[in-house]
């Protein structure tokens, strides 16, 4: 069994609480086990690492160093605090062992680029993604229905606050539109941000965060074709399968350029929230 290690800002959060069971139920359950976990802090009202480890039947690590030394592959979590990813991933990315960094990879393009640069420098396989990328209905729409076609306009919707949850909508947008966004504008009301994304070739996309709204994607493509993806109910199990396959092979199926574009759009979109109805330039990927 290959040992997976968890490194988290605080361990009592939805991803860490659910990944172990999903891994135990995956098709690769006989090859992987969550062996160790470590957290940086325990916020008030959250389970501490001792309690979490007892409940999850996972070993308690005393340090990041122990996780890196004793595990074969590493998940850097902190899904609600992407600003902690650089510090938490520092030693894992120097290990040469496969590292998955939870969504979103970073709050800025520069930080995301530094993570990729460090992984490359130390020969460490790295992957980061929204779980939404792996939903079967979305993959069918993009890989089969739209195969070989150009998306002219894509609209994605879903709930949550921008800095934590916009990654899901942005990831879907980038999958459908590709890279090359030039500027963004936040023009929705405060409680339902609406981000317009402008491409140099005249194409556009939009991202709407609506409280409690399900994830959806609509696209107009080719000359006169359109589609809508309204059902996204199997993405987490399929994501776990993809993450474990990455741990097994050391090869990420996600283009690095897309992950960097997503970070650039998160950065520009965050800036645009404080400048409504104003175009904000998307940082350029070197």
Which residue, chain included where needed, has tokens 């776990």? 240
Q: Which residues of 82-109 are buried (b: 16+ CB within 10 A; e: fewer)?
A: bebbbebbebbbbbebbbbbbbbbbbbb
Spatial distance between the Cα atoms of 126 and 246, rounded to a whole number of angstroms: 9
Confidence (pLDDT) at 190: 83
Taken in order 227, 233, 239, 244, is the CA torsion positive or negative? Answer: negative
Q: Are residues 112 and 177 in the same domain?
A: no
Does residue 249 lie in a domain region? no
Q: Are residues 60 and 172 in the same domain?
A: no
Contact 179, 285 (CB under 8 A): yes
Who has greater pLDDT, 53 or 189?
53
Confidence (pLDDT) at 82: 97
- pTM of the model as a whole: 0.96
Confidence (pLDDT) at 276: 95
Confidence (pLDDT) at 26: 97
pLDDT for 115-138, tens place per residue?
A: 999 999 999 999 999 999 999 999
Q: pLDDT grade, residue 76 (50/70/90)?
A: very high
Q: What is the arithmetic mean of pLDDT over 214-228?
A: 95
The CATH number assigned to the domain holding 275 equals 3.30.360.10
Q: pLDDT grade, residue 18 (50/70/90)?
A: very high
Contact 158, 131 (CB under 8 A): no
Q: Are residues 58 and 194 in the same domain?
A: no
Spatial distance between the Cα atoms of 224 and 115, rounded to a whole number of angstroms: 40
Contact 250, 74 (CB under 8 A): no
Residue numbers of the domain that contains 187:
133-232+265-281
Spatial distance between the Cα atoms of 242 and 123, rounded to a whole number of angstroms: 20
């Amino acid at each position: 069994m290959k040992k997976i290690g968890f490194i988290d800002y605080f361990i009592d959060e939805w991803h860490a609480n659910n990944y172990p069971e999903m891994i135990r139920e995956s098709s690769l359950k006989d090859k992987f086990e969550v062996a160790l976990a470590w957290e940086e802090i325990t916020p008030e009202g959250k389970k501490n690492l001792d309690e979490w480890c007892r409940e999850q039947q996972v070993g308690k690590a005393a340090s990041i160093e122990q996780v890196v030394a004793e595990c074969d592959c590493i998940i850097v979590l902190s899904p609600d605090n992407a600003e902690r990813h650089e510090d938490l991933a520092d030693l894992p990315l120097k290990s040469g062992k496969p590292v998955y960094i939870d969504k979103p990879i970073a709050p800025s393009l520069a930080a995301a680029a530094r993570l990729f640069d460090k992984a490359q420098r130390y020969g460490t396989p790295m992957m980061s993604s929204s779980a939404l990328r792996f939903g079967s209905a979305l993959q069918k729409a993009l890989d089969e229905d739209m195969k070989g076609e150009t998306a002219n306009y894509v609209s994605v919707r879903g709930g949550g606050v921008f800095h934590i949850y916009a990654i899901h909508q942005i990831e879907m947008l980038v999958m459908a539109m590709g890279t090359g966004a030039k500027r963004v504008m936040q023009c929705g009301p405060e409680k339902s941000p609406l981000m317009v994304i402008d491409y140099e070739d005249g194409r556009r996309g939009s991202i709407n965060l609506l409280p409690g709204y399900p994830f959806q994607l609509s696209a107009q493509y080719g000359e006169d074709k359109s589609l809508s993806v309204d059902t996204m109910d199997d993405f987490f199990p399929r994501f776990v399968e993809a993450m474990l396959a990455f741990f097994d092979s050391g090869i990420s199926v996600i283009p690095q350029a897309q992950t960097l574009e997503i970070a650039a759009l998160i950065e520009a979109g965050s800036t645009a929230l404080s400048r409504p109805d104003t175009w904000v330039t998307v940082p350029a990927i070197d």
